[in-house]
Amino acid sequence: MNRTLQKKIKPYIWLLPSIILMAVFVIFPILIVFRLAFSEVSKAGIVGGFVGFKNFRDAIGLPAFKTVMLNTFYWVISVVGLSTVFGFIIAMVLNQKFHGRKIARAILVLPWATSLVIQASVWNYIIKYEYGNLNNVLLNLGIIKEAINWRSSYQIEFIWECGVGIFVTIPFVTFCVLSGLQSIDSTLYEAADIDGASYWDKLWRITVPLVKPSLTVSTVLNIIYVFNSFPIVYTMTKGAPANKTDTLVTYLYMLNYYNRQKGPATALSVIGFLVLCICAGIYMVGVMRKEEDL
């Protein structure tokens, strides 16, 4: 009896350290955020009683709320969409055999390995008007005659932020697609060749369907990571002017730590968290289905 009990409990003991770690540092903060979102929170962070949806109403009533939500939407859609397209094309190219392929792949990994703050700072310097490196290079190449103001308006600055976002996201997509491409059986292409299929036929009928699972995983994960991406916007514009370039995460950071509007900030946290949960749900369904396929 004791033996069987021990055997039953054993797996849970093996899981225990991991569960404790995640429960304390992941689950707890989630609970805290939810509790704060429904409580009265003073500017100093002292938690009062239950106030229902007041914080949510306050958050939605904030003047910048609509802009920030739209920005977040544009940010996620443009960065995820474009980096998926570019990443796919680059993966197709890097999957060819050519000299220096290993070097090219090693270089491609660089933006992924670099901290986002550092990437954002470098691009910040590159696109500076007065002494930015891009203007300098273009002037010296004789491509432009006069320095161009690369950040003439906040819309353009936001586009630059998206560009940097795409730049750092491409390697992840590329490597996901590459791993999908490499698992494709080459006999499929040989069979298609015998049947006289064109390049595009092979692309649409073989490559794309077989890479689709990898693309789904990378897209959903990217939506989540891009949604949460804080350092690029924070380093490049800090949301200025007047939250016009803020995304949800930078906005809630500013609200909480600069404006001390802790109530609405936690409400925004919960909103962001729920959006992520929906994505996570989609992702989980996808992964589980993939597991079944294997």
Partner 1 sequence: MKLSESIKKKNRTALLLLLISVLLAAVILSLPAYKFTSSVYTKKSANTFVGDEKYTEVRAEVDAVAEEYRASGLDVEVSESVTERTNSKGETTSMVAFSVDQTFTKNGWSFLSAGMGSTWVLMALLLCLVLSAACALAGTVGSLDDPYRALDGRAAAFRSASYYLALIAMLLVPVFFMVNTVLMSRRVDLYCDGLLTEGKEALFAKLDAFLFGGQGGEELESMLKGLSFRNTGAMWLLLPCSAAAMAAGIQLRRGSITHTVVRGLLYAFVIALCVFILYPYYVMLVTGFRSIAETNDSDFLHLLPVKWQWGNLKHIVDRGVLRYLGNSLLVAGGATVLALLCGIPAAYAMARMRFKGKNVFLGFVIVSQMFSPVVLLIGISQLMSAMHMYDSIWGLMFINAAFNQAFAIWLLRGTFVSISPEMEQAAKIDGCNTVGSLVRVLLPMAAPGIVTTLIFVFINAWNEYTISTVLISTASKRPITVGITQFSSFNMIEWQNLFAASLLATIPVVILFMCIEKHLTSGLTSGGVKG
Residue of 79, 253, 261, 264 interacting with partner 1 (CB under 8 A): 253
* Least distance to partner 1, CB of residue 161, Å: 15
- Residues within window 198-227 making contact with partner 1, judged by CB under 8 A: 213-214, 217-218, 221-222, 224-225, 227
x/- string (CB under 8 A) for partner 1, residues 137-156? --xxxx----x---------
- Tell whether residue 279 is a contact of partner 1 (CB under 8 A): yes
- C-beta of 206 vs 210, nearer to partner 1: 210
Among 182, 191, 208, 258, binds partner 1 (CB under 8 A): 182
Judged by CB under 8 A, the residue of 5, 100, 195, 292 near partner 1 is: 100
Parallel, antiparallel or unpaired: strands 39-41 and 47-50: antiparallel
CB of 205 to partner 1, least distance (A): 21
DSSP 8-class letter at 1: -
Cα 97 to Cα 82: distance, rounded to the nearest angstrom: 25
Could you give the 3-state DSSP secondary structure of residue 49?
strand
Q: Does 6 bind partner 1 (CB under 8 A)?
A: no
- Output the smallest distance, CB 119 to partner 1, in A: 7
> Which amino acid is located at 233 in the chain?
V
Burial 25-58 (b: 16+ CB within 10 A, else e): eeeeeeeebeebbbbebeeeeeeeeebeebbbeb
Distances (CA, A) of 76 to 132, 168, 192, 228, 285: 27, 13, 37, 9, 21
Least distance between partner 1 and beta carbon 78 (Å): 18
